[in-house]
Chain A
């Protein structure tokens, strides 16, 4: 199973939660802090540091081009 690293662009997020809700591995959650527009952006949840499988679902479903993953060896 590939392993993925999550990258986020906090300022683009509008808090729709699509990635959080539909990540097949439940990797993501809302940030504690907010971005400049007042949205809680997506971050990796505690205890899920090794859970991303680089499936690319968040990259495709994010309407804001605010999250993607890359495979790590």
Chain B
């Protein structure tokens, strides 16, 4: 066998706007890994690519919609879920997946999340949680861990944070998972699962933002944060979600898993 072979294209390129690669995400950002899992899950899905739709809000994560060669929508800040709800109700044949940031989905867009989960609208929501507003310069948001330094919390954040899997489960989401941009096999599988499942599914993906978050929190580059996920990630599908909050300050365990997979009457399901 030989060493590596240099080529010009990638097997997932047909699902990407490959002419826009390399993308704008920073070296060491985890967003591209998550988009690779998403593309892979779509490629493997029994639903044809023409029926898959990606909806994003605004932020670095929001750029995912622009890089996927599908019917994809880059909506206004915080409004990815209501946009996706409208798409799904108007055309239940579509497989609608929202990919957006922690700030977009849980700060400005928080109310949409709670009502979509309550209604159990048949969409998938993937939240890339990089613990800050990456695109606008690393401000603190509702998932910034207590003690973390950001551009708006130079002395360390003090506000309590959302525990996103607990929130989603409490609101009635039928599928709830948390993975990281290192746990790519598990993430790809979880994405495949939600694409075949009816109802409101939620996947939180922890992801390095070396520029906006890592640098000011002694995590260094993306590789260091990925190593932290490997060191501290504990897979526990049956975890007590009330204990699954993220506390990076003490380098404590990060609970990962597919926590919930249940059935509940859903809105907007294909007949």
Q: How far is the CA of A17 from the CA of B123 in the complex (A)?
A: 34
Q: Is B33 a contact partner of A3 (Cβ separation < 8 A)?
A: no
Q: How far is the CA of A16 from the CA of B33 in the complex (A)?
A: 11
Q: In the complex, which range does the number of interface residues on chain A fall in?
A: 35 or more
Secondary structure class of chain A's binding surface, majority of residues: mixed
A18: chain B residues within 8 A (beta carbon):
33, 182, 222-223, 226
Q: How far is the CA of A64 from the CA of B222 in the complex (A)?
A: 14
Q: Is B10 a contact partner of A63 (Cβ separation < 8 A)?
A: no
Q: How far is the CA of A44 from the CA of B5 in the complex (A)?
A: 9
Q: How far is the CB of A11 from chain B (nearest CB, A)?
A: 8
B185: chain A residues within 8 A (beta carbon):
57, 60
Q: How far is the CA of A62 from the CA of B37 in the complex (A)?
A: 10
In the complex, chain B residues 1-28 whose Cβ is within 8 Å of any chain A Cβ:
1-13, 16, 18, 21-23, 25, 27-28
Q: Which of A16, A50, A66 contacts B222 (CB 8 A)?
A: A16
Q: How far is the CA of A59 from the CA of B36 in the complex (A)?
A: 8
Q: Is A57 a contact partner of B184 (Cβ separation < 8 A)?
A: yes
Q: How far is the CB of B217 from chain A (nearest CB, A)?
A: 18
Q: In the complex, which range does the number of interface residues on chain B fall in?
A: 35 or more
A16: chain B residues within 8 A (beta carbon):
27-28, 221-223
- A26 at the B interface (CB under 8 A): no
Q: Is B8 a contact partner of A9 (Cβ separation < 8 A)?
A: yes
Given the interface pairs A21-B227, A61-B184, A68-B10, the reply to whether A7 lies near B5 with Cβ below 8 Å is yes
Q: How far is the CA of A20 from the CA of B7 in the complex (A)?
A: 19
Residue-wise interface mask of A (43-73) relative to B, using a CB-CB cutoff of 8 A (1 in contact, 0 not) = 1100001101000010111111110100010
Q: How far is the CB of B191 from chain A (nearest CB, A)?
A: 11
Q: How far is the CA of A22 from the CA of B224 in the complex (A)?
A: 12
Question: Which residue of B6, B181, B230 has the most chain A CB atoms within 10 A of its CB atom?
Answer: B6
Given the interface pairs A62-B33, A63-B36, the reply to whether A3 lies near B223 with Cβ below 8 Å is no
Q: How far is the CA of A21 from the CA of B205 in the complex (A)?
A: 20
Q: How far is the CB of B222 from chain A (nearest CB, A)?
A: 6
Residue-wise interface mask of A (30-50) relative to B, using a CB-CB cutoff of 8 A (1 in contact, 0 not) = 000000010100111000011
